[in-house]
Amino acid sequence: MASHAQPVTDSTTTRPVQFKIWRGDASGGAFEQYTARVTGGMVVLDCIHQVQAEQVPDLACRWNCKAGKCGSCSAEINGKPALMCMTRMDTLPTDQPVTVEPLRAFPSIRDLVTDVSWNYEVKKKITPFTPRKPDRPDGTWTMYQEDIERTQEFRKCIECFLCQDVCHVLRDHHKHDEFIGPRFLVNIAALEMHPLDVADRIADLKDRDGIGYCNIGKCCTKVCPESITITDNAIIPLKERVVDEFYDPITRLLRIFRSK
């Protein structure tokens, strides 16, 4: 029998913690200072809720599951993109105010809420799952566990868009029209490495999706709350497929012959 858990922090005492929360909308805004009462085990989202319920009922934020499963409460906490519901207060220094601001790679709607609709538009353009013919007469397929582990890793994505937020191509260079960002490279990797899928998205990756913009800085991998190895397992193999398809001399030669 396992040993029984002891609390790692004291949940009975309460201490005041200062917060600087960004308030504003598309026309501009500023940090405003609030105080939350913090007890052991609390996360940043608890503090935002407390401020909302007791001090500023119109403080706008998104949240759903409060369990790191839906990816709604993405924000920048002390400048670092993170889920508010999974960031424990006892991991943050509290000798200075904790800053909470919206994702900066997307337009502001109000306070901590940003307009992430671009992501939904990008997803629509990706060639959907296209399975091979069923393996059995009853319309089902055979797949082995070892063949699906990779795509299952990518399918853990909760679409919190933290990787999109931290990606310099989107955040600093605003290439939203030319680059789909790490989330959707993972999305394409999940489809391309799905054992049943037969569609080809490699030409799109090169031309429309702008995979070349990624210079494998791995910032996306570092912020992923699901610990998906975005760069190494998704983006680099996709880059290799693009290279094999379009830049490999033998393939290019074959392409010239085929096109004739």
Partner 1 sequence: MSIPEAIVHEHDVIVIGAGGAGLRAAIEASATGAKVAVICKSLLGKAHTVMAEGGMAAAMGHVDDRDNWEVHFADTMRGGGYLNNWVMAEHHAKEAPDRVRELEAWGAVFDRTKDGRILQRHFGGHRYQRLAHVGDRTGLEMIRTLQDHGIHQGLDVYMEMTVIALLRSGGRIAGVLGYDRERGRLRVWRAGAVILATGGIGKAYRITSNSWEYTGDGQSLAYEAGAEIMDMEFIQFHPTGMVWPPSVRGLLVTEGVRGEGGALRNSEGRRFMWDDIPEAYKNQVAADEEEAWRYVCGDKNAQRPPELLTRDHVARCINREVKAGRGSPHGGVFLDIAWIKSRVPNGEEYIKKKLPSMYHQFMQLAGVDITREAMEVGPTTHYCMGGVRVDGDTQMSSVPGLFAAGEVAAGLHGANRLGGNSLSDLVVFGRRAGESAARWAKEHGAAPVDNAQVESETARALAPFDRLNGENPYAIQSDLQNVMQRLVGMVRVQSELEEALGHIASLRARAANCGVVGHREYNPGWHTAIDLRNLLLVSEMITKSALLRPESRGGHFREDFPLRSEECTGFNLVASRADDGSMNIQRRQRPPIRADLQAIIERMK
Closest CA to 114 of 20, 25, 45, 246: 25
Tell which one of 13, 33, 144, 260 touches partner 1 (CB under 8 A).
Answer: 144
Question: Is residue 212 near partner 1 by the rule CB under 8 A?
Answer: no
Q: Alpha-carbon distance 41 to 6, whole Å?
A: 13
Separation in Å, CA 100 to CA 18, 31, 80, 97: 11, 9, 9, 9
Tell which one of 19, 36, 71, 182 touches partner 1 (CB under 8 A).
Answer: 71
Question: Is residue 152 near partner 1 by the rule CB under 8 A?
Answer: yes
Pairing of strands 98-101, 74-77: antiparallel
Tell which one of 29, 35, 107, 148 touches partner 1 (CB under 8 A).
Answer: 148
Question: Is residue 58 near partner 1 by the rule CB under 8 A?
Answer: yes
- With respect to partner 1, which residue has the nearer C-beta, 64 or 96? 64
Least distance from partner 1 to the Cβ atom of residue 253, Å:
35
Question: Is residue 175 near partner 1 by the rule CB under 8 A?
Answer: no
CB 173 within 8 A of CB 221: no
Least distance from partner 1 to the Cβ atom of residue 251, Å:
28
Total residues binding partner 1 (CB under 8 A): 70
CB 220 within 8 A of CB 166: yes
Tell which one of 37, 141, 173, 252 touches partner 1 (CB under 8 A).
Answer: 141
> Which amino acid is it at 217?
G
Q: What is the CA radius of gyration of the chain?
A: 22
Kindly report the CA angle at 249 between 248 and 255, in degrees rounded to 5?
A: 90
Question: Is residue 61 near partner 1 by the rule CB under 8 A?
Answer: yes
Q: What are phi and psi of 254, to 5 degrees?
A: -60, -40
Question: Is residue 80 near partner 1 by the rule CB under 8 A?
Answer: no
Q: Which residues here bind partner 1, judged by CB under 8 A?
A: 1-9, 11, 25, 39-43, 46, 52-54, 57-72, 86, 88, 109-111, 113, 115-116, 120, 123-124, 128-129, 131, 134, 138-145, 148, 151-152, 155-159, 191, 194, 197
